[in-house]
Amino acid sequence: MKNSYLIETHDLVKTYSLGESSIIALNKVSLNFENAEFTGLVGPSGSGKTTLLNVIGSLDSPTSGSAVVRGRKVEDLSHKEAAALRNHHIGFIFQTFNLLPVYTVFENVEFPLLLLDHSPGERRKMTMDALDWVGLADRAKSKPAQLSGGQSQRVAIARAVAKKPALILADEPTANLDAENSHHILRTMERLNKDLGTTFIFATHDEKVIAYLRRKITLVDGAVAKDEHLESRGPAGEPR
């Protein structure tokens, strides 16, 4: 049943050269992720969380080992193939939101759809659906500068989910948000995970995020130290 996994990594190694020495960011990481997981990569800074997300997201290639996403080996993909994989199947949520400042909220969310073969009418519907999911349909005409941090991150989520990708990778999505906004965002993502069956993988060391996870993978010095399946507890620490 090997092919049923959305993502598989085998002995994944990623090293960065720093002058004459090199840093091992990932050290023989072997993990499998199924569809509709709500998983977090946790660990201290420099433990390899973001690097693993980048490799899975085909933004970076491994030094050795293998990462297979939807049956495609990331290390074998050309630039164009990697771009196509990201375009069709992967959504990204960044710590700093990375919204395009000159576009409106609507245009930001619509942006990834422009690269896909959707008619303008379909694009509009998908964009407004995504904004509805995150509760920002009424801010469609606003510019990112007019939004709060929490609203900006919700726009980033809408942008990531608008094309209904199989996988969303979120790198420290709550790092710049207060507690209330963090829970709002997390509840939105949890709902999308359940409604759409989208797999979410977080890189985080935020306890608020960890409270929502159904699987927690702890990385230490680039290696998997612990892989736990949890019962999601929600914002108050109570089981949900």
Partner 1 sequence: MIIPKLALRNILGAGLRTWLNVVVLSFAFVAIIWTQGLYEGMNDQVERASVDAALGGGQYWQENYDPFDVLSLEDAHAIVPDSLRAMIDAGAATAILAVQGTLYPKGRIQPVLIKGIDPDQALLSLPTGFLKTGEDRFPALIGSRMARSTGLQVGDTVILRWRDAKGTFDARDVEIVQVMKTVVQSIDQGQVWIPLDRLRDLAGMEGEASLVVVAQGTLERPPAPGWVFRDLDFLLSDIKQLVQMKSAGATILYAVLILLAMLAIFDTQVLSIFRRKKEMGTLMAMGFTRGRVIRLFTLEGALHGVLAAIVAALYGIPLLTWYAGQGWALPAGMDSYGFAIGEKLFPVYSAGLVAGTTLLVLGITTIVSFLPTRKIAKLKPTEALRGRVS
Residues binding partner 1 (CB under 8 A): 54, 57, 59-60, 79-80, 83-84, 86-88, 92, 94, 96, 98, 100, 102-103, 107, 111-112, 114-115, 159
Angle at 129 between CA 91 and CA 85, to 5 degrees: 20
Residue whose C-alpha is closest to residue 63's, from 23, 115, 100: 23
φ/ψ bin of 222: left (φ > 0), alpha (ψ from -120 to 50), beta (otherwise): left
Residue of 163, 150, 158 whose CA lies nearest to 104: 158
Stretch (H or E) spanning 230: none
**Smallest gap, in angstroms, from Cβ of residue 86 to partner 1?**
5
CB nearer partner 1, residue 92 or residue 212: 92
**Beta carbon of residue 188, minimum distance to partner 1 (angstroms, whole number):** 20
CA–CA gap between residue 166 and residue 200 (Å, rounded): 9
Least separation in angstroms between residue 175's CB and partner 1 is 15
Q: Which is nearer to partner 1, 32 or 142 (CB)?
A: 142
| Residue number, 86 or 154, with CB nearest to partner 1 | 86
For residue 58, the minimal CB distance to partner 1 (Å) is 9
Angstrom CA distances, 194 to 11, 93, 128, stand at 30, 18, 20
Q: Kindly tell me which of 2 and 80 has the beta carbon lying closer to partner 1.
A: 80
- The alpha carbon of 117 is separated from its chain's Cα centroid by a whole number of angstroms, namely 23
Using the minimum distance from each CB to partner 1, give the nearer residue, 57 or 222.
57
CB of 93 to partner 1, least distance (A): 10
